[in-house]
Structure 1
Amino acid sequence: MPKLTIDGIEIEVEPGTTILQAAERLGIEIPRFCYHERLSIAGNCRMCLVEVQPGPPKPAASCAMPVAEGMTVKTNSPMALKARKGVMEFLLINHPLDCPICDQGGECDLQDQAIAFGADKSRYAEAKRAVTDKYLGPLVKTEMTRCIHCTRCIRFATEVAGVPELGATGRGEHMEVTNYVEHALHSELSGNIVDLCPVGALTNKPYSFHARPWELKKTESIDVFDAVGSNIRIDSRGPQVMRVLPRVNDDVNEEWISDKTRQAVDGLLYRRLDTPYVRGADGKLKPATWNEAFKAIADRIQGVPGSRMAAIAGDLADCESMMALKDLMTAFGSTNLDCRQDGMKVDPAIRASYLFNSTIAGIEEADALLIVGANPRWEAAVLNARIRKRWLAGGFKVALVGQAVDLTYGYEHLGTNPQTLQEVVDGSHPFAAVLKDAKRPMIIVGSGALMRDDGDVVLGACWKIAQATGMVADGWNGFNVLHTAASRVGGLDLGFVPGEGGRDTRAIVEGAAKGEIDVVWLLGADEIAGERLGKAFVVYQGHHGDRGAHRADVILPGAAYTEKNATWVNTEGRVQRGRLAVFPPGEAREDWTILRAFSDVVGKTLPYNSLAQLRDRLTAANPVFGAVDRVVPAEWRAFGIDGVMNTSKAFALPIENFYMTDAISRASRTMAECTDVYINGNDQKKTGTHD
């Protein structure tokens, strides 16, 4: 490995390492605008100039120059400092003095580096150029006169998002970064170009002119809009969440988040439940006190046997609240519990049957992939970007059984129904040989394939594929289930599933319709049509006046994910904890505290009085909850059932509209605008909201 000296410090690095990367290992800062560690090297901003010896008598771009044996690099020599000042002067000759009104102000790379590495005056007296703003959709606002042509946005759209809709036209002073045809960026990751932009050319349109960064309180938390569990930072001011940004976690989301994660938070402002409600004799819901709401529930369930009570947990529910509700239902003698609103057929007793066993980071080690009944681009946009990253590296064959959709990478479409899957099981399909010949093959089974009536048979067929192709061996488990709900894996881990003789979601709903279930407790369960619950007494505990609340007889206002300290488990089984950023509105309370208070009223007092005690209860229920921020490998055993799949019914997809999948995103005005643009096809520039 080559040895070199940087600012008098000797270092040995791998061949192909650039000077800038070597300097970073030593903690030496070299300014840059175009370079980004997750994008290809462009070398066009020239801000990272350094002096290299032996070499030509001119500064070299450290981001693009590989190291060599015996090289001596000076990052702060007079030559390097003079070169950077010159580059900064050129960058600023056309840059407008917008800092007081620019949303990037206070967190702008150009501001910071102009102070640290630039001159204190400009010799440029000519008129500055102006560039027409571009329309990039409802999420990204443009001020292209500020653009310094770093091309980060172009490279992200092309390489990471897989949507090559941005590029540069013209040369020299006439160069412009633009979309070739003026329309919205068709990517679920488009908001990340705002984070990448080192100046104020691309900013967050819904957040525009709402707050300054120094006004915001920053809270590290976890995203719940899908099952990836992206690490996020919640920026809030007073009682309001202002924006959401990604946090770096190489094992989960790298440093990307989906547009829904970033922009659906304005839904936290609308249609909120901030006081208890009780349905009166006239059939209308009326505001009530907590005591009145608890009394109404207690009076109704008095004398109701546990077999006629049921509870369903929603897609955003946290583990603490599900544990408390399970313990409460158990105290009543009810085993009618389920955390699968969509009816997914997985085996709760075998953890490997419902985990993304390869782990998200493990995708980069695979060399063949079969996707069954899933659209990762909508079901887990950040995970889909990881698949694309592996596909770009080469030597990675991808095939899909299910609806053909644009996944941003090439794949072989094998078919749409289980007949094709059966051929892979039998080994008669050519792709079965591809999986068998691969060293680390993978299969991703979507919830759309498992929510069918024959979902357990499909699960068994996928297990057979994993066995027949050697997917599980030598520290590698290539069997993966891709969930869409943040609460799903946590609910399965803590056992929020039917007990002995208990009913699952479908049976609960059918029982309520037939009068066999008298009381249904919905913990944020909004994906069930209320009219299907018949005359059952419905308690809805949640934070939005969505579908579940409309049917409820009693509403208990809970806290959204930004308003509580809570635990979620992502699709790979990683236990992660979100933190309270703002307090719940009005009379709303954290969900587990509501259940704890109600248990006192009905004489079924739950055995914990603090969050720490409740988390001890979680760990006692399943030790995986004690392994925070780690993935505990699951034991590999047989699961699923043998049977005949319904080959006449094609695999369906669980998500019809990426931008509205839950109570929060359905209340979001930004997501409504995205639905209009991307789903309904009104993809043209508008006045008012877009300008």
Structure 2
Amino acid sequence: MSAEAAPAPETVPVTVNGQEVHVPKGVTVLYACEQAGVDVPRFCYHHKLSIAGNCRMCLVEVEKSPKPVASCAMPVMPGMNIKTTTDLVKKAREGVMEFLLINHPLDCPICDQGGECELQDQSYIFGSDRSRFTEYKRAVEDKELGPLVKTVMTRCIHCTRCVRFSTEIAGVQDMGITGRGNQAEVGTYISKLLASELSGNVIDLCPVGALTSKPFAFSARSWELESTNSIDVTDGLGSNIRVDTRGNEVMRIVPRANEEVNEEWISDKARFSYDALKRQRLDRPMVRGGDGKLQETSWEFALEYVAEKLKAAEPNAMRAVAGKLCDAESMISLKDMMNKLGASHLTPEGLPGASADVRSSYLFNSNLVGVEDADYVLLIGTNPRTEAPVLNVRLRRAVIAGGATVASVGPKADLSYPSQHLGDTTATLEEVTSGKHAACEAIKAAQNPMVIVGSELLRRPDAKVMLKKIHAMCDELGVVNGDWNGFNVLHDAGGTVGALDIGFVPGTSASDAVPAQLVYSLGAEEFDAPEDAFVVYQGHHGDKGAARADVILPGAAYTEKTGTYVNTEGRAQVAIASMGPVGKAKEDWRILRALSEFAGVPLPYNTHQAVHERLAQVAPHFAKVDEVEATLWMNGATYANAKGKKLEASIPLKSSVENFFMTDIISRTSATMAKCTEARESGAV
């Protein structure tokens, strides 16, 4: 990366409503108006999409121009005099609005967009108080786009935002306009469902009620909802979301803009899996009785019972497993309690041999925004389209707009942009890491080469040997060079990086030689427990983990507790509780604090703030919320002592996500995600 500062863009002076502003050369009149603090109405324009210029709502008057101009498509000229409040502009906007409303139905009382509709707002401000149209309104047949997006195409005003998003951002060439004039319709060219993991974003983009959320339909009005800022945990990106609740129920989840993380998009899984939060919930403590069945009990009895087992078990025979969706506060509480009991066998779910010694060995070191600076990207054992759809948007932009090359060693998949598939075997990876493959020359020649390693690779039995070879390749081929660190690990869950950051890994005294007598599962579904082992499950959904448990301690889901999550690039973010836990469930760190008291090893914190301060003691970056600390590259020293020299040739390099719609306990419980899975398996998508 060049150390020289980029030259300042050339600016030109323009006048907006008598106020002079200087804007970069080549920007639009609409941009100049925004810089001057003037709001210009628009429907088709969106700053993340290409300019269409077809709604004409953004008309303004430009001096010496014979008629109003569309400000979104007109570039500024030096000395241009722009007026947005003249009678000419007012009449032009009234005319445009009148045309838009000619065929728009009078659906406002039953439309799900009511209360947050751009057409409603702008017709009230800029429209006329009467219509001259007396003919019949046209009607358009609704399109079937799948179980997520509801269509009422008669409301469509042909802004084409959904078409441009599908084509440019999602990379799915499915939507377009067929017909001309009064017969024009937006839809799929042939009858099919939207085949994108980002399809729900067209709901936010649609300025009218033509595209709305099918699961949310007719369930609530926007003014009834209470909004809370939170963080998505269904993948490793930590997308910023807003949780809308009514009473003690999550009604919908929508994205929050954060240009450094998720821009303005979220995946369909993040948006629609919330219906699982009221299904199959664990809402009361339970203990397995003599008849082998789980029976409801009191919190006091359950905690006393677990505490007795903790005190009776040998420290070396105790195991603690942290689930994929755990917040950092609950994991540090469990770690501190187990350490006080003398136990050090701690494991993040699915990563039994993980190393947490060097952060750069398990983080996305280039940062998410750094993807767009890369000119060559090598994917190893990952499919970013299913593991992190929003990151895949940045990769697509790097290829389409930036001219980057993407090659993959792993699963062959449609990434929504051109890519080279080198193979899916360890033999291919061996060639690449040893410098014998043709791709090595391209990596070496690249200015900002990048390697993205999938989280499934960390779960392999030969993970350390493989990572040792990849680290050596990164040093040899210049993937890590000066200020540029192109070695990246793409995690697929919201809690994994937080677990590694606080050192929730086996300690030096941990050994598998002693069989487990007690296993404490903190929301983990996959863990090894002998049949005679005592299993404690602390979580929020009844699934595989709860079915194996001897004691169930009901915890809170991510929308029901304030917690810190660290995304795949190492950015600590705080999710605010949008509602209270269901039934008798409690926040996870509070359960562990109470249990430590019963076990005779009380934890030294009683408030959430105190737990967060404890996190900052263990890992200082927890004190810097929403910031990314630069990591130190250890030149392959992390896996210098990795035993063994051969890779497991019998195990192909594959993605950690086989079914995008079902990857964790919440999405597996979601009825909406089940419908999406069924639609995809039936071939409709």
Task: Verify same fold: TM over 0.5.
Answer: yes
Amino acid of the structure 2 residue aligned with 1:108? C
Give the whole-Å Cα distance in 2 for the aligned partners of 1:118 and 1:400.
53
Letter in 1 for 2:651: K
**CA RMSD of superposed structures (Å):** 1.3
CA contact (8 A) 2:310 2:599 kept: no
Distance 1:467 1:80 in 2: 61
User: Where does residue 689 of structure 1 map in the other structure?
Assistant: none
Task: Specify which of 621, 628, 632 is matched with residue 631 of structure 1.
Answer: 628
Contact kept in structure 2, 1:418 and 1:651, CA below 8 Å: yes
Q: CA deviation at 1:53?
A: 2.0
Residues 238 and 494 in structure 2, CA contact (< 8 A), matched pair in contact too:
yes
- Deviation for aligned residue 1:465: 2.1
For residue 554 of structure 1, report the CA deviation from its aligned partner.
Answer: 0.2
> Contact (CA 8 Å) 2:536, 2:551: kept in 1 or not?
yes
Aligned partners of 2:466, 2:157: CA distance in 1, in Å?
52
Q: Which residue of 1 aligns with 2:45?
A: 35
2:173 counterpart of 1:169:
no
**Counterpart code for 1:290:** W
Partner AA of 1:287 in structure 2: E
2:559 match: secondary structure: helix
Match of 2:121 in 1: 112
Q: CA deviation at 1:7?
A: 1.1
Q: Is 1:554 matched with 2:564?
A: no
Q: CA deviation at 1:381?
A: 0.9
Paired letter, 2:377: L
Contact 1:370 1:401 in 2 (8 A): yes
What's the TM-score once normalised by structure 2's chain length? 0.96
CA drift at 1:385: 1.1
- Check the 8 A contact 1:310/1:519 in 2, yes or no: yes
Residue 421 of structure 2, aligned match among 413, 418, 421: 413
Distance 1:156 1:385 in 2: 11
Answer whether contact 1:528 1:547 (CA < 8 A) is retained.
no
Instruction: For residue 44 of structure 2, give the secondary structure of its aligned residue in structure 1.
Output: coil
Q: Which segment drifts farther, 225-234 or 473-482?
A: 473-482
- C-alpha distance in 2 between matches for 1:345 and 1:121: 71
1:44: Cα distance to partner?
0.4
- Residue 619 in structure 1 maps to residue 612 in structure 2: no
- Matching residue within 563, 567, 571 for 2:568: 571
The code of the aligned residue for 1:213 comes to S
Q: 1:70-81 counterparts in 2 under 5 A?
A: 70-81=79-90
Counterpart pick for 1:20 among 7, 27, 30: 30
Q: What residue number does 1:51 align with? A: 61
Q: 1:170 Cα shift?
A: 0.5
| C-alpha separation in 2, matches of 1:192 and 1:153 | 9
CA distance in 2 between partners of 1:329 and 1:618 (Å): 16
Give the equivalent residue in structure 2 for 1:533.
530
Residue 2 of structure 1 aligns to a residue whose secondary structure is: strand
- Residue 667 of structure 1 deviates from its aligned partner by 1.2
Report matched runs for 1:327-342 at 5 Å: 327-339=336-348, 341-342=349-350
Give the equivalent residue in structure 2 for 1:645. 647
Q: How does 1:589-608 map to 2 (within 5 A)?
A: 589-608=586-605
Partner residue, 1:400? 408
Deviations 1:27-74 (A, max 9, x none): 21000000000000100000000111233x111000011111111111
Contact 1:458 1:640 in 2 (8 A): no
- Quote how far apart the aligned CAs of 1:533 are: 3.3
Distance 1:123 1:27 in 2: 34
CA distance in structure 2 between the aligned counterparts of 1:15 and 1:466, rounded to whole angstroms: 40
Aligned residues: 670
Report the alpha carbon displacement of residue 473 of structure 1 after superposing the two structures with TM.
2.7
Per-residue CA distance 1:499-544 (angstroms, 9 max, x = gap): 11215xxx5xxx7xxx711000000001347xx5321000000000
2:78, 2:431 → 1: CA distance?
55
DSSP 3-state at the match of 2:461: coil
Greater CA drift, 455-464 or 148-157:
455-464
Partner residue in 1 for 2:251: 242
**Unmatched runs of 5 consecutive residues or more in structure 2:** 1-10
2:6 counterpart residue number: none
Q: 1:344, CA displacement in angstroms?
A: 6.5
SS of corresponding position for 2:421? strand
Which residue matches 1:688?
none
Tell me how far 1:346 sits from its aligned partner: 4.5
> What's the offset of the Cα at 1:682?
5.1
Contact 2:372 2:402 in 1 (8 A): no
Confirm or deny: 8 A CA contact 1:371 1:444 kept in the other structure.
Answer: yes
**Deviates most, 139-148 or 636-645:** 636-645
- Give the aligned partner of residue 504 of structure 2: 496
In the TM superposition, what whole-angstrom CA distance separates every residue of 1:419-471 from its partner, at most 9, and x where no partner exists? Answer: 22222222221211111111111100001222111111111122122112212
For 2:547 and 2:94, locate their aligned partners in 1 and report how far apart those are by CA, in whole Å.
63
Partner of 1:200: 209
- Counterparts of 2:377 and 2:353, CA distance in 1: 22
On the 8 A contact 2:237/2:261 being kept in 1, the answer is yes
Aligned to 2:4: none
Contact 1:15-1:67 at 8 Å conserved across structures: yes
* Contact kept? 1:346, 1:353, Cα under 8 Å: no
Letter in 2 for 1:26: A
The runs of 5 or more residues in structure 1 that have no matched partner are: 685-691
- In structure 2, how many angstroms separate the alpha carbons of the residues matched to 1:108 and 1:499? 55
Corresponding residue SS for 2:295: strand
Partner in structure 2 of residue 668 of structure 1: 670
What amino acid does structure 2 have at the position aligned with 1:299? Answer: E
Distance 1:342 1:305 in 2: 24
Of 414, 419, 434, which aligns to 2:442?
434
Distance of 1:618 and 1:298 partners within structure 2: 24
Identity %: 53
For residues 533 and 25 of structure 1, the distance between their equivalents in structure 2, rounded to whole angstroms, comes to 65
Contact 1:417 1:650 in 2 (8 A): yes
Distance 1:345 1:499, change over 3 A: closer
Residues in 1 aligned to 2:62 and 2:354: alpha-carbon distance in whole angstroms = 60
- Alpha-carbon distance in 2 for matches of 1:640, 1:110: 58
1:295-344 C-alpha deviation (Å, 9 max, x unpaired): 221232333221111100000000000000000000110010011x2227
Counterpart contact for 2:145–2:192, Cα < 8 Å: yes
Q: What is the aligned partner in structure 2 of residue 687 from structure 1?
A: none
Residue matched to 1:683:
684
Paired letter, 1:568? Y
Matches within 5 A, 1:186-225: 186-225=195-234
Alignment of 1:460-479 (within 5 A): 460-479=468-487
Counterpart contact for 1:183–1:683, Cα < 8 Å:
yes
The one of 442, 459, 463 equivalent to 2:467 is 459
1:104-140 Cα shifts (integer Å, max 9, x gaps): 0000000000011111110011100000000000000
**Structure 1 CA distance, aligned partners of 2:530 and 2:62?**
74
Question: What secondary structure is seen at the aligned counterpart in 2 of 1:244?
Answer: strand
Deviation at residue 345 of structure 1 after TM alignment? 5.2
Query: 1:343: which partner in 2?
Result: 351
Partner residue in 2 for 1:305: 314
Residues 227-247 of structure 1: CA deviation (Å, up to 9, x unaligned)? 100000000000100000000
Q: Spell out the pairing of 1:337-376 with structure 2 (5 A cutoff).
A: 337-339=346-348, 341-343=349-351, 346-376=354-384
One-letter amino acid matched to 2:601: K
Instruction: Confirm or deny that 1:296 pairs with 2:311.
Output: no
Matched residue, 2:15: 5
CA distance in 2, matches of 1:123, 1:453: 73
**One-letter amino acid matched to 1:548:** G
**CA-to-aligned-CA distance 1:353-373 (integer Å, 9 cap, x gap):** 000000011111111100000
When residues 345 and 68 of structure 1 are mapped into structure 2, their CA distance, relative to the original with a 3 A threshold, is farther
* AA at the equivalent of 2:585: A
Contact 2:308–2:599 (CA<8 Å) still a contact in 1?
no
Amino acid at match of 1:651: L
* 1:635 partner letter: L
Q: Residue 321 in 1 paired to residue 330 in 2? A: yes
**1:207-286 correspondence runs (5 A):** 207-286=216-295
Q: Which of 578, 581, 586 lines up with 1:584 in the alignment?
A: 581
Q: Which moved more, 1:426-435 or 1:599-608?
A: 426-435
